[in-house]
C-alpha cells in the first residue's frame, strides 16, 4: 500500500469555518478538502434539499424529449422503455415505465438478453418493437453510440429518445432527442448523473407539464439512489441530494420489491455501502444469470406475496452467481500464475467457457490480487466479449480507444468498460493493450493507494466527533469515508487473528494512555507487525461496534506499517 497524506488545507479558511460552524478544526478541514469553505456551503452539504436539484430543461434536447413523449401519449402510440441488464439499466426501466404507466396504458418494457443480444441497443429489440406496432423507444443507460441502430429504427418508422450518461463518440445518433449531460454541446450544470439519474430528470420534466411537484416524485428516488450506488458515480452535487433522499425512501418507505429483498437483512438503517453489497448484487444477478427482466418485474411488483416469490428466485440467481464468480476467479488466477515469465503492466485472461455474466466481477477480483488494468474475456457467439476494470487514476476507456483497430465495439467509463472483438484479433489486441498501458501509465499507480485525510490522536475521537462525521454521508466517489492516520501506537497485548483462515486482525491499540478497539479485515498477515511491544502507525476509518447491546467506537483498519 502507498500512503498519501492529503495536502494541508488553508489554515485561515479552516479556522474561520470551524468557528462559524462551532466544530473541531479536523471537521472543518474535511469540509475544506471537499470544496466547502462557507457556512452556506456547509449547510447545503449537511442538509441536502430538493431545491438543490437543477431545472431538467437545462439539459440539451429535454424540450424535444418531453414534446415527443407528449405527442405519443396524446396519439395513443405504443411506447417501449428499453434499458440494459445491469443495475443502472434495470432501475432506469422500472423508474421510467412505472411513471409513464400513470399517464398512459400503452407502455411496455424491454431488456436485451445479455447472451443473445449483448450490451446496448440491439437490432432484435428494434425488430420486436416493429413487430408489436411500437413507434417510440425510450432507451435508458445506453444508446449514445447506437448510430446505425437508431437509423435502422427510423427506417421502420420508430423514433428513439436516448437517456444516457456514457461518453458520446464523435457523432450523436439522429434520434428524436438525445439526453446526455456528457454531450459537448450540453450545458447542463452537473455532468455526473448515472443513467437512472438522467431518466429521473426526464420524468421530472414530464411531471412539470402534468402539474406535479418534485415531492410527487420522491417515491422513485429509491431506484435512483440504488443506481448511483451501484454505478459508482460521484456522490457530489445533484447526485448527493438524489442519493440522500433516495436512501431516506429505502429506509422509511421501501418499495415492495426492496422489502422482499431486504427481508433477510438484519440492519435497521441502510447506508450507500449496504445498498452496494445487498441490493445491487441481487438486482444484477438476474441479468447475469438469467434475464434482466426478472429484476424489473421485482422492482415494479406491488403484491407482497408475488414480490417474495420473485425475490426468492433472484436469491437463487445470486447464489449461482457467487459460485460462478468463485470458480472462474480461481481459474483466472491459475492462468496468470502460469504466464508470469515476464513483467506485465496489464492482466488479460481468456477462457471460452467462462460465464459472461460474471466476468466483470472476476476482473475486479483479479485487481485485488494483481493491481493492474484488467480484461477478462469469454466466448460470446462467434466473437469474444470482455469486461475491463482499471486501477485508480488510470483511464481504461482511453486505453481501449487507442486499441480500436482490434476492437469491434466498446463503451463505458474511465474505470469500467466492455468490448467485443473477433477471435483472430485477440492476440493482436492483447499485445497492443499491454503496449498502450505500459507506455502511458504512471508506474506508481500500480501500487494501491490509501488517501489519508488527516492525522488524528485518540483523544480527538469522541461520540460528538463521530456524530458529525456520520452526517458527511452518503459516502462514495468524490466524498469518500474519511481516512485518518495515528502514529507511534502500540498493541495492548490482546491482538489475535480471527475469521476463516484467520484472515482478519482484531486488536486494541493504545497511545498516551488511551486505548481503542480495532478490526482489520484481511490484515491477519500484519499480526507480527504489531506484537512484541513495537510501535507502528495505523490508517483507519472510524466505525461503531455493537456487542451484547453495547455500542462503542472502533477503528476499521485499512493498513498498518
- List the pLDDT tens digit at each of the 561 positions of the chain: 999 999 999 999 999 999 999 999 999 999 999 999 999 999 999 999 998 899 999 999 999 999 999 999 999 999 999 999 999 999 999 999 999 999 999 999 999 998 888 889 999 999 999 999 999 999 999 999 999 999 999 999 999 999 999 989 899 999 999 999 999 999 999 999 999 999 999 999 999 999 999 999 999 999 999 999 998 899 999 999 999 999 999 999 999 999 999 987 778 889 999 999 999 999 999 999 999 999 999 999 999 999 999 999 999 999 999 999 999 999 999 999 887 667 899 999 999 999 999 999 999 999 999 999 999 999 998 999 999 999 999 999 999 999 999 999 898 888 999 999 999 999 999 999 999 999 999 999 999 999 999 999 999 999 999 999 999 999 999 999 999 999 999 999 999 999 988 999 999 999 999 999 999 999 999 998 898 778 999 999 999 988 888 889 999 999 999
- Domain ranges in the chain? 2-9+450-560, 56-312, 339-446
End-to-end alpha carbon distance in the chain: 9
Per-residue model confidence (pLDDT) at position 341: 64
Q: Which residue, among 398, 417, 454, has the nearest Cα to 34 in the 3D structure? A: 454
Which runs of consecutive H residues, i.e. helices, occur in 302-358?
304-338
**CA angle (357 as vertex; 417, 196 as ends), nearest 5:** 55
Q: Domain 56-312 falls in which CATH fold?
A: inorganic pyrophosphatase (n-terminal core) (3.90.1640)
List of E strands, 370-493: 374-380, 383-389, 409-412, 416-422, 449-452, 454-455, 484-491
Spatial separation of the C-alpha atoms in residues 21 and 37, rounded to whole Å: 11
Q: Domain 339-446 falls in which CATH fold?
A: Diaminopimelate Epimerase; Chain A, domain 1 (3.10.310)
Spatial separation of the C-alpha atoms in residues 111 and 83, rounded to whole Å: 5
The CATH number of the structural domain formed by 2-9+450-560 is: 2.40.50.460
Report the predicted TM-score, pTM, of the whole model to 2 decimal places.
Answer: 0.91
68 burial via Cβ count (<10 Å: 0-12, 13-18, 19+): buried
In angstroms, how far is CA 555 from the centroid of its own chain?
A: 25
What are 88's three cell numbers? 443502472
Amino acid at each position: 500500500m502507498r500512503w498519501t497524506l492529503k495536502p494541508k488545507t488553508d489554515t485561515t479558511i479552516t479556522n474561520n469555518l470551524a468557528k462559524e460552524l462551532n466544530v473541531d478544526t479536523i471537521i472543518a478541514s474535511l469540509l475544506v478538502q471537499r470544496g466547502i469553505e462557507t457556512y452556506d456551503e456547509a449547510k447545503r452539504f449537511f442538509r441536502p434539499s430538493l431545491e438543490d436539484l437543477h431545472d431538467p430543461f437545462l439539459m440539451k434536447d429535454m424540450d424535444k424529449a418531453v414534446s415527443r413523449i407528449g405527442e405519443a401519449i396524446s396519439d395513443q402510440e405504443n411506447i417501449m422503455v428499453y434499458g440494459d441488464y445491469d443495475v443502472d439499466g434495470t432501475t432506469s426501466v422500472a423508474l421510467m415505465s412505472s411513471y409513464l404507466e400513470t399517464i398512459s396504458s400503452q407502455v411496455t418494457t424491454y431488456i436485451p438478453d445479455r447472451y443473445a443480444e449483448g450490451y446496448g441497443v440491439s437490432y432484435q429489440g428494434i425488430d420486436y418493437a416493429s413487430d408489436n406496432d411500437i413507434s417510440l423507444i425510450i432507451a435508458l443507460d445506453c444508446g449514445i453510440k447506437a448510430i446505425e441502430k437508431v437509423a435502422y429504427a427510423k427506417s421502420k418508422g420508430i423514433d428513439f429518445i436516448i437517456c444516457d450518461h456514457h461518453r458520446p463518440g464523435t457523432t450523436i445518433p439522429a434520434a428524436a432527442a438525445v439526453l446526455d449531460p456528457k454531450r459537448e454541446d450540453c450545458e447542463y450544470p452537473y455532468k455526473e448523473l448515472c443513467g437512472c439519474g438522467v431518466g429521473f430528470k426526464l420524468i421530472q420534466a414530464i411531471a412539470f407539464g402534468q402539474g406535479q411537484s418534485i415531492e410527487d416524485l420522491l417515491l422513485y428516488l429509491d431506484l435512483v439512489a440504488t443506481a448511483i450506488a451501484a454505478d459508482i458515480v460521484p456522490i457530489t452535487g445533484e447526485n448527493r441530494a438524489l442519493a440522500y433522499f433516495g436512501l431516506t425512501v429505502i429506509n422509511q418507505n421501501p418499495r415492495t420489491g426492496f422489502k422482499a429483498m431486504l427481508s433477510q437483512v438484519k440492519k435497521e438503517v441502510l447506508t450507500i455501502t449496504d445498498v452496494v453489497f445487498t441490493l445491487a448484487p441481487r438486482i444484477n444477478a438476474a441479468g447475469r444469470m438469467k434475464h434482466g427482466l426478472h429484476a424489473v418485474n421485482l422492482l415494479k411488483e406491488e403484491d407482497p406475496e408475488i414480490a417474495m416469490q420473485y425475490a426468492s428466485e433472484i436469491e437463487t440467481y445470486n447464489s449461482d452467481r457467487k459460485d460462478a464468480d468463485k470458480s472462474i476467479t480461481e481459474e483466472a488466477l491459475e492462468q496468470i500464475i502460469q504466464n508470469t515469465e515476464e513483467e506485465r503492466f496489464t492482466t488479460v485472461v481468456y477462457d471460452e467457457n467462462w460465464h459472461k455474466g460474471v466476468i466483470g466481477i472476476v476482473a475486479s477480483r483479479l485487481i485485488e490480487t494483481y493491481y493492474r488494468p484488467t480484461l477478462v474475456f469469454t466466448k460470446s457467439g462467434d466473437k469474444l466479449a470482455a469486461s475491463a476494470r482499471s486501477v485508480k487514476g488510470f483511464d481504461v476507456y482511453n486505453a481501449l480507444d487507442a486499441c480500436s483497430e482490434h476492437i469491434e465495439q466498446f463503451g463505458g467509463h474511465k474505470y469500467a468498460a466492455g468490448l467485443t472483438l473477433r477471435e483472430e484479433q485477440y492476440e493482436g489486441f492483447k499485445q497492443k493493450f499491454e503496449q498502450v498501458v505500459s507506455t502511458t501509465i504512471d508506474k506508481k499507480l500500480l501500487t494501491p493507494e490509501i488517501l489519508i485525510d488527516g492525522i488524528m490522536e485518540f483523544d480527538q475521537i469522541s461520540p460528538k466527533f463521530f456524530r458529525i462525521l456520520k452526517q458527511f454521508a452518503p459516502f462514495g466517489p468524490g466524498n469518500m469515508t474519511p481516512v485518518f492516520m495515528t502514529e507511534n501506537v502500540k498493541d495492548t497485548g490482546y491482538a489475535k487473528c480471527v475469521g476463516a483462515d484467520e484472515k482478519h486482525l482484531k486488536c486494541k491499540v493504545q497511545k498516551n494512555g488511551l486505548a481503542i478497539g480495532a478490526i482489520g479485515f484481511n490484515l491477519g498477515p500484519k499480526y507480527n507487525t504489531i506484537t512484541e511491544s513495537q510501535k507502528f502507525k495505523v490508517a483507519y476509518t472510524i466505525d461503531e461496534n455493537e456487542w451484547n447491546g453495547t455500542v462503542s467506537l472502533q477503528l476499521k483498519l485499512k493498513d498498518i506499517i
